[in-house]
Amino acid sequence: MSDKTAPRCQLRLEWIHGYRGHQCRNNLFYTAGKELLYFVAGVGVVFNPREHTQKFYLGHNDDIISLALHPDKVQVATGQVGKDPFICIWFWTLCGNALTPKRGVFGKTGDLQTILCVSTAKEELTYSGALNGDVYVWKGFSLVRTVAAAHGVSI
């Protein structure tokens, strides 16, 4: 009789082949360390071309569709699609070969919805464009203001 128990091993992401260019813009950047930053499906990728290595940000549970790199070229924000979309801010905390996440907090200031674009500005502010045309203004991980109907359509 064969053993029907699950194997005692796990899969580990070693390499990402590909790049998401479909329906996305401004999604490839150089970091302060001269690494390439981009995303594929629900994974943020930091590629070091000198050492031919990749690090992975695994904080999303659905496809990433927006990415912004802070002017310091260290901090990253990514937004995802799905039923419960959210934004992740990356401070490059590396655990093994994965970067650890921190979610944005919408609170009572804005509606939880799909974020289509993200951009950074002065005074540690970040702006995100929502599916319904609203613009969200973030300070750190918290939503501080909503510009309702800033655009008549998705941003």
User: Percentage of the chain surpassing pLDDT 70?
Assistant: 89
Angle at 142 between CA 141 and CA 146, to 5 degrees: 130
Does pLDDT of 75 surpass 80? yes
pLDDT tens-digit profile of 77-129? 898 888 888 888 877 555 676 656 566 667 777 777 777 788 888 888 888 88
Cα→Cα distances 127→44, 55, 91, 118, 142, Å: 20, 26, 18, 6, 11
Residue 39 banded pLDDT, cuts 50, 70, 90:
very high
Distance from chain centroid for Cα 133: 20
Say if residue 155's pLDDT is above 70.
Answer: no
Tell me the whole-structure pTM to 2 decimals. 0.60
Domain architecture of the chain: domains with CATH: 29-147 (2.130.10.10)
CB atoms within 10 A of CB 10: 5
pLDDT of residue 73: 86
| pLDDT value at residue 29 | 94
